[in-house]
Amino acid sequence: MRIFRHFEDLTPEVRGGAVAVGNFDGVHLGHRAVVGGAGAIARAGTPPAPWGVLTFEPHPRLFFKPDQPPFRLTPLRIKARHVEALGVDFMLVLHFDHALASLDADTFVTEVIVGALDARHVVAGHDFVFGRGRRGDGNLLLRMGGEAGFKVTRVPPVTGPDGAAYSSTRVRERLAAGDPRGAEALLGRPFEIEGRVEHGDARGREIGFPTANLPLGEYQRPALGVYAVRAGIDLGRDTLWRDGVANLGRRPTFDGHDTLLEAHLFDTREDLYGRHLRVRLIEYLRPERRFDGIDALKAQIAEDCARARAILDGLS
């Protein structure tokens, strides 16, 4: 999949196709219906047309409310990987800044959808809005599509077995409630925290449970506590998966303050410092808490490891 950061840079082979438009934070099952809808249209042609995704970084919500707590489900690198896995040909990532936020909806369609992409078909979710003051919506796309010669498909809400629509907000709510399985049901895959392993204070190694430490950065903060996890070690072309247990929190026994993900991988002796790691939250085991001493902490970690192994072995 090719990634473009400026609409002026598009090459001829990606113009004239079907394009899914949206923020797509999480690339959950509802988002996949929108992106997949564009793909079905693109692939129906003879020859197939280009299949693209148009999205925005940083998330517009962060631009308008920069002081809010971290909320991202899929930072750009991760979002791109999940979009690419769907088979998309290219992704256009527009920098959401003051200039883009100030662009009126009609001009956005004229310059980006028509001028740059020369889109033949635009697919968007039922609630997609865009342009200055959020004045652009599906009705405007339909009107301008009729004038400019492109078609528009508005995808209705995609609902799960419970009848509720898939949404990024619901994923965040499930994670905050300590329900990674609920988040997985909405995403269609386990929620992951991904990053480069940093040096910590080596306390885990000192007590017999070495950990790989990941900063949370812009990720949504799930409920603090201990999780059964599966961690993927980046090997370049491949990813080596290992079961484990992770503490997501502030390490109150050691008077920690920064929120950190510390993953202890079972049956792994590799030096992971500086390696890229993907940590999937599988099941919430317990809240984080302070222990009276190291021995009590070690006993609890051993119990956590046993529970995590049993849970993960049952999923194999």
Closest Cα partner for 70 from 190, 159, 187, 195? 195
Candidates 30, 53, 49; CA nearest to 41 is 49
Give me the helices (H) in 129-176, please.
138-148, 168-176
The edge-to-edge listing of strands for the beta sheet with 121-125 is: 2-4, 90-95, 51-57, 18-21, 121-125, 151-155
Structure tokens belonging to residue 188:
């269609």
Letter string b/e over residues 140-171, b meaning 16 or more CB atoms within 10 A of that residue's CB = bbeebbeeeebebbbbeebeeeeeebbbbebb
Beta strands in the chain (DSSP E): 2-4, 18-21, 51-57, 90-95, 121-125, 151-155, 191-196, 212-215, 225-234, 239-249, 260-265, 276-286
User: What are the CA-CA distances from residue 294 to residues 122, 200, 290, 308 (Å)?
Assistant: 58, 18, 10, 21
Name the residues annotated as catalytic: 262
Q: Name which of 14, 79, 98 is nearest 49 in CA terms.
A: 14
